[in-house]
Structure formats: structure tokens, C-alpha cells
Amino acid sequence: MKTNEEAFSDKHKRSNKVWELFKFLLINRNKRLHPNNIVEELWPDQEYIDPKDAVKSLVYRLRRLLKQHKSLKDHVFIDSSQGCYLFYLSEDSWVDIDEFESLSFKAKENNHKERETAMFYYHNAISLYRGTFLSEYPCKSWVFPIRQYYRRLYTNNLIDLVELLKETEEYRAIQNLCEKAFIIDLLIETEKIHVHYMEALVAEGQVADALSHFDFIKTVLEKELGIGPSDYMTEYYKSLKR
């Protein structure tokens, strides 16, 4: 979280549980959350004699940290009532994941109606995606569903934009788009992106580069995931070898 380009949470890295709670509340903002549910979601392997007191203590510490930043005091709120906590933001607050989702939906709505408008929204949505959501929590079960949701949304945006660019044979733009995507997530959820990339290379006369890309991805998949390329990708590769 940033205020005036200053990374807010970086100043308090030692408060690990406080910041995990903050991120959980932010994602679940505008929902009333019971302390028992908060503890079960965040730390299912730990036993608390009094979950209510444990969460109360963490919320108190979080409120103190938030108050230290004057620029936040009128934007971030934690309400406690009826035995639950409610986290909410001021109306003028901006949350990147909300913007990413909104742009993605707008792009999809315009995909078959207004090509240029759809492309504008796709480009802006894609630019907001920075990789694995909450990558600092690789094994946290509460993060998995929302992480996969944003990854899938990003992947769908990418595929839709590439297909719009193919309609006007903008193969160099497709290459650039895919190469940036591979930097963020080389093992992207669908290999369709890799085939689109190979097709764009071939269209530009770079068949050898397309074949090399297949060999590279095949090696990465086998090494990282213990699997080979999909039949779809393999068949396309074979068609280039004929």
C-alpha cells in the first residue's frame, strides 16, 4: 500500500501478522467478519484460547500503525460492532485490484462491439497486472482462490487482446505483448498464449525463433512442472517442422 508513493507496509515489515490481517481485511472490505472466522482463515494451523482477544489485539496494533500516517486517517476505517469487524475505505480511495477488475469487464463488454474501445481497456487492465497476487504468501489457503481469479482474468484479457490484434495482422504488437507477459508469468495458465506468440513469429518470417521457443517452453515445463507441452502446442510445432 502506498501513500504519496511511499510504501506504507514496508516500514513495518516485522509486524507480519498485522499486515496479513490488513491485506485480508482489505480484500474482504465491506464485509462483517467474526474474529473466529478471521483466525480460521488466516492461521488455521494455530490454536487460540481466545480468538476474539487475539484479533482484538492485532486490530488495535493495526489501527495504531494506520494512525501514524496522516494521509490515511481519512481513507481507511475499521469498525467494530456486534462482535464483528468491518473494514472499509473512503469513496475517493483507489484500489488497483478493483480497477483491474473493472477495466477487464469493460473490455469484455466492448470486445465484439467497439474494437478500439475494447483494446484501450484491455491494454490498461493488462498494465495493472504485476504477477502472482500476494506472492509473499505462497502457501496460504485463503489467498489461492483470489490469486487464481486474477490470474485467470489477466490470461483471458491477454488472449482476447491478442486475437483482436490478429484480426488486423499486428504481429509485432503481439510479439511485444507476449514477451512482456512471459516476463511476468512464463508458465502462464494457458499454452494458447505461447502458440499465439509462435504464430506471430512465423508471420514475421521468424520460423526458427518459433521452433526455439517451443523447445525452450518444453524444457521449462518438464523441469518446473514435470509435464510436457499440450497436444495443441505440440501439433502446431510439428506443423512447422513439416
Q: Say if residue 10 is in the same domain as residue 81.
A: yes
CATH code for position 72: 1.10.10.10
Nearest residue to 122 (alpha-carbon basis) of 156, 167, 169: 156
pLDDT of residue 14: 56
Each residue of 92-144: pLDDT tens digit? 889 999 999 999 999 999 998 999 999 999 999 999 999 999 999 999 999 99
* Single-letter code of the amino acid located at 133: F
pLDDT of residue 197: 97
Which whole number is the average pLDDT over 25-33?
A: 96
Q: Say if residue 11 is in the same domain as residue 70.
A: yes
Each residue of 157-176: pLDDT tens digit? 999 999 999 999 999 999 99
pLDDT of residue 8: 56
pLDDT of residue 69: 80
Pairing type for strands 2-3 and 6-7 reads antiparallel
Q: Which residues contact 101 (CB under 8 A, 6 or more apart)?
A: 153
pLDDT band at residue 30, thresholds of 50, 70 and 90? very high
Q: Say if residue 6 is in the same domain as residue 82.
A: yes
Cα separation, 90 vs 111, whole angstroms = 32
Q: Say if residue 83 is in the same domain as residue 107.
A: no
Residue ending a domain, among 142, 167, 192, is 167
Residue 84: all three cell numbers together:
464483528
Q: Say if residue 122 is in the same domain as residue 180.
A: no
Residue ending a domain, among 66, 89, 112, is 89
Q: Say if residue 99 is in the same domain as residue 111.
A: yes
pLDDT at 203 > cutoff 80: yes
Q: Say if residue 162 is in the same domain as residue 177.
A: no
pLDDT band at residue 240, thresholds of 50, 70 and 90? very high
What is the domain extent for residue 192? 169-242
Q: Say if residue 61 is in the same domain as residue 27.
A: yes
pLDDT at 4 > cutoff 80: no
pLDDT at 46 > cutoff 90: no
Tally of domains in the chain:
3
Long-range interactions of 217-224: CB distance < 8 A, separation 24+: 217/186, 217/191, 220/186, 220/187, 221/187, 224/187
Q: Say if residue 240 is in the same domain as residue 202.
A: yes
Residue ending a domain, among 63, 89, 115, is 89
Q: Which residues contact 98 (CB under 8 A, 6 or more apart)?
A: none
Q: Say if residue 83 is in the same domain as residue 101.
A: no
Nearest residue to 11 (alpha-carbon basis) of 48, 86, 64, 85: 64
Q: Say if residue 98 is in the same domain as residue 46.
A: no
Cα separation, 22 vs 59, whole angstroms = 9
| Proportion of the chain above pLDDT 90, given as a percent | 81
Say if pTM beats, i.e. exceeds, 0.75: yes
Q: Say if residue 140 is in the same domain as residue 70.
A: no
pLDDT band at residue 241, thresholds of 50, 70 and 90? confident
